[in-house]
Amino acid sequence: MDKSPKASHWNDSKESWGKYPKTEAVVCSLKSRSQKISDAIPLGQEELSYLAYGQGRSYGDSCLNDHNLLILTEKLNHFIELNPETGVIKVEAGLTLKEVLDHVVPRGWFLPVVPGTQFVTIGGAIANDIHGKNHHVAGTFGCHIKSLELVRSDGTQRICSPHQNEDWFRATIGGLGLTGIITWAEIQLKKIACPWISRETLRFHHLDQFFEYTLDSDSKFEYTVGWLDCLSQGAQLGRGVFFRGNHLLLKEASEIKSKKEKIKTFPFNAPEFLLNRFSMKAFNSLYYHTHPSKKAELVHYRPFFFPLDGINHWNRLYGKRGFFQYQCVVPFEGTQSPIYRMIETFAKSGLGSFLTVIKTFGKVSSPGILSFPRPGVTLTLDVPNEGKKTLRVLESLDEMVMDAGGRVYPAKDARMSKESFKKYFPERVEFEKFKDPHFSSSFWRRVT
Amino acid sequence: MKMLIFGATSAIAEAVARKVAYDHGDLFLVGRNSETLDLMAQDLSVRGAGRVGKANGDLTHLEKFTEWVESAAHFMKGIDVILIAHGSLGEQKELEKNSDLAFDIFNVNFISAALLAETSARYLEKGGRGVIAVIGSVAGDRGRQSNYYYGSAKAGLECFLQGLRNRLFPLGVRVLTIKPGFVSTPMTAHLKQNFLFAKPEVVATGILKAIRNHKDVVYLPWFWRWIMCVIQSIPEILFKRLKL
Ligand SMILES: Cc1cc2nc3c(=O)[nH]c(=O)nc-3n(C[C@H](O)[C@H](O)[C@H](O)COP(=O)(O)OP(=O)(O)OC[C@H]3O[C@@H](n4cnc5c(N)ncnc54)[C@H](O)[C@@H]3O)c2cc1C
Ligand SMILES: NC(=O)c1ccc[n+]([C@@H]2O[C@H](COP(=O)([O-])OP(=O)(O)OC[C@H]3O[C@@H](n4cnc5c(N)ncnc54)[C@H](OP(=O)(O)O)[C@@H]3O)[C@@H](O)[C@H]2O)c1
């Protein structure tokens, strides 16, 4: 009984979180961590290129493989071992961070690094070597991986760690899924006393003040991040809200009752006319003004780390044309930072963004060859897709990033050019030796 | 809770097992894929299960039934719930042409499940308590040209369970018939998914709730009861003309 589609018969149009670009692919799935890749591929599809697909929480096309094959990892969702003494957890790569956190938090452990959503898989977190609000002290997710298993299209399996198959380890962390499939990983968790975070919220009226806050806070707070009103200019250029926090150390605090979370769902793709400069300006201004100039409180880790997870499908807000996320890092140069010019350019461009995030990256370096973070300042913009106009503005930002010796995050990218990628990631040459010849992605074909 | 699961590697059964593990229950898993049973057992232990035991074998091997129930009872020091979850959809068009395949479909979905339920009853009735929960299907509510082999096996199973429930009621053992609609599992992976498909986790929650609430029959999700009510009410004279 052969139900495999023909190569001309794409059975799925998986999306990334940005809903752009639209692609078609043959989709299959790895049934267990011991299944060979070749046994998962539907008959007659062997000639296509392969790519693992986690939860599609990347924004652009790094998790897509247009007119080729995607291998879902959702069935690799088993826990393997948790050592309650050392906090080392071994899990299959298709488990989401949410499933891991739900399990380990009540046992007094936390993931060493978490992104802005808990709906990403362990495999995706490794392949993009994700960073969180604690990059300035903890580095990336990959810094906390004790070992992982990599399976390749030629049927080989390798256990990789900083001490074993080290070069494969370095290539796979931040390797954009191109070195093969990660089936499981061992992660060093971090000890916590309770699920609560003590958070301080501080409003800053100008980007200068953000830099003051972050310089002052990065040594005292494990988690720091700023939200920017990207549309205010002049004396209020780069005003925003600064959040900083630490895990609460009190054990008794686990008794605090948290409100039952209500998850809402964004019901449909928003019509495009709702997304205009006025609505964005109003939103940005409102967000700024509704935050108190200073406040300290206890919050549960979920709203602290994953505020957007409270609304399912919030990406529909940007309509069916989808949106771009632009994340760059530039070297830290204080008030000389190119970030000033970038925000100014963006504010004047006529585009808007609901969610502009700024954070300093620290010096902890990742083992990953292609890993994105570098010491400096990282800026992230959500930009609705308005076609050519949007692309032009983002290209002008690219030029500033390039001049400053910075780089753009592939996990969020759907548009950088070959030339930019080459400049941003000279490590590509070293990386390519480890790429699985059978693996590719829409992103990879675009930038190489 | 101490739960024995037949067909433990089924996606729905695994979702149930995870919830039992979360509440620190004990589990005994029976299935034919030993590798999957091993990784499930590991997973369930990490998730918080008390004891997790397993036995490996084809569920059409009648001669093993008693041994499995007894090992489970011995391993967990008793049994509260026995979940019978295995099943196989088959390919209707092939079944129409091949009686051997058709026999297997009846065997897995009806004979094996019914006789496992009876074996379970023989053990539980001695203690005068416990629940036998069996996964049937809405497909058993009306014969349709697209899957009447599978459907009739599930219909037979339902009738069998009615009788068993009737027999066990005075003995203190309860029988739950679970009738899921479409669930996104390997069994339905080849079908185009639509809004009617439920996640195994949702069905699992419904199963455990029905067990707790002493239900006899449960449709999961609940709206299938009304869908099937409509389908059952169509007069045969009309129904036979439909392409269902
Ligand atoms: C709301 C939101 C907030 C975010 N915040 C942050 C943030 O703060 N910091 C940050 O760094 N990122 C952030 N991201 C991006 C996200 O963390 C990454 O894109 C992540 O990699 C997505 O994981 P995924 O499981 O969805 O993987 P996918 O998007 O499906 O895939 C990502 C890549 O991983 C590869 N991959 C997936 N599984 C495997 C596997 N088992 N083996 C090998 N390769 C695999 C894929 O091939 C692909 O290249 C955010 C995303 C969203 C939607
Ligand atoms: N999915 C639906 O839409 C749906 C709807 C209504 C009812 N159901 C019922 O729900 C139950 C669970 O199915 P599922 O949806 O979870 O699908 P599934 O994951 O495919 O599970 C079916 C299970 O039955 C096992 N099995 C089949 N024949 C067997 C045999 N001879 N011996 C041992 N094990 C055998 C399979 O084992 P292997 O893994 O080793 O093959 C598999 O674990 C079944 O009774 C099914 O009829 C499902």
Residue of A nearest to B185 (CA): A75
Task: Find the length of chain A.
Answer: 448
Q: Do A79 and B40 touch (CB under 8 A)?
A: no
- What is the CA(A141)–ligand 1 centre distance, in A? 11
User: With an 8 Å Cβ cutoff, is A82 touching chain B?
Assistant: yes
- For residue B9, how far is its CA from the centre of ligand 2 (angstroms)? 8
Whether A249 and A214 map to the same domain: the answer is yes
Of A189, A286, A287, A281, the C-alpha closest to A243 is A287
Q: Is the pLDDT of residue A6 over 60?
A: no
| Pairwise CB contact (< 8 Å): B39 & A33 | yes
Mean pLDDT, residues A330-337: 83
To which residue do tokens 């082999």 refer? Answer: B149
Shortest-distance Cα residue to atom 10 of ligand 1: A130
* Whether residues A205 and A122 fall in one domain: no
CA of A56 to the centre of ligand 1 (A): 7
> What ipTM was estimated for this complex?
0.92
DSSP state of B170: G
Is residue A226 located within the same domain as residue A188?
no
User: Closest Cα partner for B51 from B77, B31, B33, B84?
Assistant: B77
Question: Which residue, A168, A192, A216, sits at the end of a domain?
Answer: A192
pLDDT at res. A251: 66
| Residues of A with Cβ-Cβ distance to B36 under 8 angstroms | 32
In CATH, what number is assigned to the domain containing residue A237?
A: 3.30.70.2520
Query: Which residues in chain A are contacts of B195 at CB distance < 8 A?
Result: none
Considering every ligand atom shown, identify the ligand nearest to the alpha carbon of residue A378 and give its number: 1
Confidence of residue A3 (pLDDT cuts 50, 70, 90): very low
Query: Does A436 map to a domain?
Result: no
The one-character DSSP state at A259 is P
List the end-to-end C-alpha distance of chain B, in Å, as a whole number. 41
The whole-chain average pLDDT of chain A stands at 93
Q: Is the CB of A127 under 6 A from ligand 1?
A: yes
pLDDT band at A1 (very low <50, low <70, confident <90, very high): very low
Closest atom of ligand 1 to CA, residue A129: 11
For ligand 1, whether the C-beta of A176 sits within 6 Å is yes
Q: Count of alpha carbons within 13 Å of B235, Cβ hemisphere only?
A: 2
Residue B196 has pLDDT above 80, yes or no: yes
Which CATH number fits the domain that encloses residue A181? 3.30.465.10
Whether B46 sits inside 8 A of A82 (CB atoms) is yes
Q: State residue A13's pLDDT score.
A: 83
The SS3 of residue A91 is strand
Closest atom of ligand 2 to CA, residue B113: 45
Please state, in angstroms and rounded to a whole number, the distance separating the CA atoms of residues A408 and A386. Answer: 20
Residue A10 has pLDDT above 90, yes or no: no
Do A81 and B35 lie within an 8 Å CB cutoff? no
- Percentage of chain B modeled with pLDDT above 90: 97
**Residue from B38, B43, B95, B104 to probe the interface with A (highest A Cβ count within 10 Å):** B43
Same domain for A236 and A95: no
Same domain for A141 and A105:
yes
Convert the pLDDT of each residue in B43-99 to its tens digit: 999 999 999 999 999 999 999 999 999 999 999 999 999 999 999 999 999 999 999
Q: Which strands, in side-by-side order, build the sheet including A50-53?
A: A25-29, A68-72, A50-53
B91 contacts A78? CB cut-off 8 A: no
Please give the structure tokens belonging to residue B54. Answer: 């397993």
Structure confidence by residue, pLDDT tens digits, A137-150:
999 999 999 999 99
Is the pLDDT confidence value at B126 over 70? yes
DSSP 8-state assignment for residue A364: P
A66 domain residue, yes or no: no
Q: Are A114 and A221 part of one and the same domain?
A: no
A72 belongs to a structural domain: no
pLDDT of residue A4: 43
Check if the beta carbon of residue A130 is closer than 8 Å to that of residue A361: no
Per the structure block, which two tokens stand in for A82?
């948790």
Are B21 and B74 in contact by the 8 Å Cβ rule? The answer is no
Same domain, A205 and A110: no
Cα–Cα–Cα angle for A326, A329, A330, rounded to 5 degrees: 130
pLDDT in tens, A386-433: 999 999 999 999 999 999 999 999 999 999 999 999 999 999 999 999
d(CA A169, CA A161): 6
| Average of per-residue pLDDT across A38-48 | 94
Residues A215 and A346 in one domain: yes
Both A180 and A209 in one domain: the answer is no
> Cβ of B91 and A1 within 8 Å?
yes
CA distance A217 to chain B (A): 37
Structural domain total, chain A? 2
A425 Cβ partners below 8 Å, 6+ apart?
A370, A407, A431
Rounded distance from Cα B11 to ligand 2 centre (Å):
7
pLDDT at A224 over 70: yes
Mean pLDDT of B229-235: 95
Q: Please check whether residues A117 and A228 belong to one and the same domain.
A: no
pLDDT at position A2 over 60: no
Phi, psi of A204 (to 5 degrees): -120, 140
The residue type at A316: R
Residues A204 and A353 in one domain: yes
* Ligand nearest to C-alpha A52: 1
The answer to the question of residue A398 being in a domain is: yes
Nearest to A32 among B36, B47, B91 (CB): B36
C-beta of B147 in contact with ligand 2 (< 6 A): no
Confidence of residue B150 (pLDDT cuts 50, 70, 90): very high
pLDDT digits (tens, 9 = 90+) for A364-387: 999 999 999 999 999 999 999 999
* A252 to A371, A386, B225: CA distances (angstroms): 39, 51, 47
Catalogue all structural domains in chain B, each as residue range(s) with its CATH number: 2-239 (3.40.50.720)
Residue A5 has pLDDT above 50, yes or no: no
Out of A192, A209, A225, pick the residue that ends a domain. A192
Instruction: Give percent above pLDDT 70 in chain A.
Output: 96
Q: Is A13 contained in some domain?
A: no
Spell out the residues 6+ positions from residue A20 whose beta carbon is closer than 8 angstroms to its own: A60, A321, A322, A323, A324, A385, A414
Residue at A143 is within a domain: yes
**Is A360 inside any structural domain?**
yes
Minimum Cα–Cα distance from B38: chain A residue: A80
Q: What does the block give as tokens for B7?
A: 């067909």
Residue B234, pLDDT above cutoff 80: yes
Q: What is the 3-state secondary structure (H, E, C) of B105-160?
A: HHHHHHHHHHHHHHHHHHHHHHHCCCEEEEECCHHHHCCCCCCHHHHHHHHHHHHH
Residue B130 Cα to ligand 2 middle (Å): 23
Distance from CA of B24 to the nearest CA of A (A): 13
Verify whether the Cβ–Cβ distance B39 to A103 is below 8 Å.
no
Q: Does residue A222 fall inside a structural domain?
A: yes
Establish whether residue A357 lines the binding site of ligand 1, counting it when its CB lies within 6 angstroms of any ligand atom.
no
- A78:B39 CB<8 A: yes
Residue A253 pLDDT exceeds 80: no
In this structure, the answer to whether residues A397 and A307 fall within a common structural domain is yes
Give one DSSP letter per residue of A20-65, joined into a string: -S---EEEEE--STTS-HHHHSPTT-TTS-EEEESS--SSSSTT--
Find the helix or strand (DSSP H, E) in which A75 lies. Answer: none
Whether omega before B221 lies within 30 degrees of 0, making that bond cis, reads yes
Domain that includes residue A228, residue range: 196-254+264-412
- B47:A1 CB<8 A: no
- Give the tens place of pLDDT for each residue, B157-170: 999 999 999 999 99
A4 CA distance to ligand 1 middle (Å) = 28
